[in-house]
Structure 1
């Protein structure tokens, strides 16, 4: 096995010094702004980085970790002494952020010299950013209460502890149920609630909802529909119109996503289907524009969920005026936003998806090839992307006629749109259902007409 040569040390040492200068510059500016006496500044951080670099060079030269350990201990001792001096000069001093940053700078400089420059430099940038954005970070933290924190912990546990333990393969004989992907759907729906929660608080109901819809629909327009409908049911009436507009935008993105998948797998299908997709997109976009751009009047009564109780938690309005259609600042949001970190509704929704996916797999296994349209309709109850890719590949390999594959995709898209309307009406209430009904009806009728003329 050929011996791996150490990288040239000059660029590594230069990177180490740059790390010290970057973090030190931020601390020097903080020191000047706060009029701190005796605090560590730019020169101290450059020297700390130099010490880390020298310690790493010595460790590498004699192939022993002890020189670097000694340097880290020495820097830590100096930092503690500096902290004691600073407290003696200013008794108001309570935090040790600068001192911890100095130790981190030493360690990052050593990491760069030890051959991990690509990791050390981004970490140094992240450290400097965390130091520089002290006040914005504090404002973000103050915006969350204890319930939000507990919910975030649930989401992190679900994402980084439960998800890696699940097998990423189908466990049933019909290759339908993948526990990893089903749980990933639970996390997605919950995370979309987080995106909407933060966006609405930061940018206001209208702009925040728009950002949530576009970003989330790139992954799952169904999840966007459920999240925004639940949010609209949990706040005052002024949130229903922006949420309905965001849902329609999500549906438009879904149709665009089908087009992208067809371009990637089988462009011949897109030649057949583009009028249908356009018929789905244009009415939804027109409805979204009408809902988002038309000024809102007096606050409507809160939309009450009807039906199965998807888990929306009602909250009391704070009594302020809504966004009124005039602005998007967070100060114009008129209601306290409900805690979005509820896993229960997302788990129930994923369970429903699992049942539908299993039924679709059974249908595809036992129905005749001519019944692919029915399979598409069944698949559309749960998802459109899967049947789109499946039909595109089947027609590309001539396992199915092009017109039959196109009809299956159309059936899936129409059924999926109807299912999402049902979800929105159930989770969002009668007002939401009424706002979405015109655009939904026009989209479905226009798509059916385009499919009849085209196919």
Structure 2
């Protein structure tokens, strides 16, 4: 028992020293490397006493720390110059609570919180620099994502409705949050690197945000002679490759149990795209271009449109499976892939996750949708872009379409590269 108490006191001392070191380095006038260990140990001892005498001891300790910070600020304000602030005061109160939580709660959580306090204090300049670069448009994107994920999602009913009893508002919106979150990540990466991005990074960011939108934008730019056809074709190709990686990520998040079966054939197509893309990159590695402006992917309208598409795909999938069996899903995949491959990917992943679809049929449905989307983007280039760009895209996409069809035709039914041994993989292939 005594060993456990001394261990908690030691951890409390270490956390206080860590935060105090940072405050001392930052030249805090209120509390530093000696004061913060006193605060955390005070919190730990207060929690120990509270177990015997009641929770009022902890409350009294918080009031004492608050009174000390007020008194310290009053005393410091009499000696000019003095920069008043609340960071050290807030850290002092939080570290007192951390010290108490070491006794009353989970020690691992307390350590994580204490370390996080020190890191946040140290990252002051970095965080301020990030905030200074955020414009009104970026802040709006953040707040809209908060609205989508933390306000709308929790209030939606988690039960099924409608035909075939497959429309679950909570699950549908959860998929909206996932897709918007991935797109928002790409958007902020664009905000940091976009205007300086070369063709490789431009294509990667375009795939994260929207490969279809990237295709339309660059095709139009070649039609207006604003961008070379080789560069535009490469950017569109990389964006399409990243969209395949995005599909694999979505499956891993929504239905991780299926990844051993679903992942390898999709990864094989991705590997082919990367190998071909590498050859093209070294062929035109001198080409650089600025990314065109990207829209905010967290707009409520965008979220509602994707939610509607996803719900429609769920209904179409249920209808096709009920009336035509698993073969009907391929028709849905082709049609859905023309508009939004994410929707059919997520609906198929959830169907596999619930046992409604065999894994080997599931990955084929997803791959058919991805190939359909690739063909559709090729048509967009042909309609909107220059002839030179279309010729290059047709060759690149044609190779991938042939490779994808070969994977659909030749891939072994039970090959699981993520879980099988090298010998088992060799046996399956041979």
The TM-score, its normalising length taken from structure 1, stands at 0.70
Q: Which residue of 1 aligns with 2:344?
A: 383
User: Cα deviation per residue 1:385-405 (whole Å; 9 max; x = unaligned)?
Assistant: 654786796897xxxxxxxx8
Q: How far apart are 1:154 and its partner, in Å? A: 1.6
**Which residue of structure 1 lines up, in the alignment, with residue 197 of structure 2?**
205
8 Å contact 1:252–1:280 — kept in the other structure?
Answer: no
Aligned counterpart in structure 1 of residue 111 of structure 2, from 106, 121, 127: 121
CA contact (8 A) 2:215 2:236 kept: yes
Deviations 1:211-240 (A, max 9, x none): 7689x6xxxxxx753576688799996996
* Residue number in structure 2 paired with 1:441: 398
Q: Deviations over 1:128-171 (max 9, x none)?
A: 11100001101111111123222211211211121112233331
2:240 match: 247
Structure 1, 420-429 or 282-291: larger mean CA deviation: 420-429
Q: How many residues align?
A: 390
1:65 is aligned to 55
1:383-428 CA distances to partner (integer Å, 9 max, x unpaired)? 24654786796897xxxxxxxx857753552233213553697699
Match of 2:35 among 36, 44, 53: 44
Where in structure 1 are there 5+ consecutive unaligned residues? 217-222, 298-323, 326-332, 397-404
Paired residues of 2:43 and 2:97 also in contact (CA < 8 A): yes
Q: Which residue of 363, 368, 377 corresponds with 1:414?
A: 368
Q: 1:177 to 1:296 in 2, by over 3 A?
A: farther
Q: Identify which of 122, 134, 149 aligns with 1:144.
A: 134
Distance of 2:378 and 2:65 partners within structure 1 = 59
Deviates more, 1:154-163 or 1:178-187: 178-187
1:184-333 correspondence runs (5 A): 184-203=174-193, 204-206=196-198, 225=211, 241-242=234-235, 244-251=237-244, 254=247, 280-289=269-278, 294-295=284-285, 297=287, 324=288
Tell me how far 1:338 sits from its aligned partner.
Answer: 4.2
| C-alpha displacement of 1:247 | 2.5
CA distance in 2, matches of 1:146, 1:263: 37
Paired residues of 2:95 and 2:114 also in contact (CA < 8 A): yes
Q: 3-state SS of the aligned residue for 1:349?
A: helix
Correspondence for 1:130: 120
The structure that is helix-richer by fraction is: 2
- Matched residue SS, 2:161: coil
Report the Cα distance in structure 1 between the residues aligned to 2:19 and 2:55, rounded to whole angstroms. Answer: 25
Q: Which SS does the other structure have where 2:30 is aligned?
A: coil
1:352-371 alignment, distance < 5 Å? 352-367=309-324, 369=325
Alignment partners' CA distance in 2, 1:366 and 1:28? 71
Mapped contact 2:212–2:377 kept (Cα < 8 A) = yes
Instruction: Write out per-residue CA displacement over residues 330-384 of structure 1, whole angstroms, 9 at most, x where no aligned residue.
Output: xxx67665444323123213312221221221121122x4xx3232331452424
Alpha-carbon distance between aligned partners in 1 of 2:104 and 2:92, rounded to the nearest angstrom: 19
Q: Secondary structure at the match of 1:15?
A: helix
- Provide structure 2 residue ranges, at least 5 long, that are not aligned to the other structure: 337-342, 413-430
Distance in 2, matches of 1:139 and 1:234, equals: 35
SS at structure 2 position matched to 1:70: helix
Question: Is the 1:83–1:96 Cα contact (8 Å) retained in structure 2?
Answer: no
Counterpart of 1:26 in structure 2 is 22
In structure 2, C-alpha distance between the alignment counterparts of 1:89 and 1:336, rounded to whole Å: 51
Checking the alignment, whether the CA contact within 8 Å between 2:30 and 2:69 is kept in structure 1 is: no
CA contact (8 A) 2:330 2:368 kept: no
What's the secondary structure of 2:158's corresponding residue?
A: coil
Q: TM-score, normalised by structure 2?
A: 0.74
Distance 2:94 2:76 in 1: 19
Give, in whole Å, the separation in 2 of the partners of 1:166 and 1:450: 40
CA-CA distance at 1:127 after TM superposition: 0.9
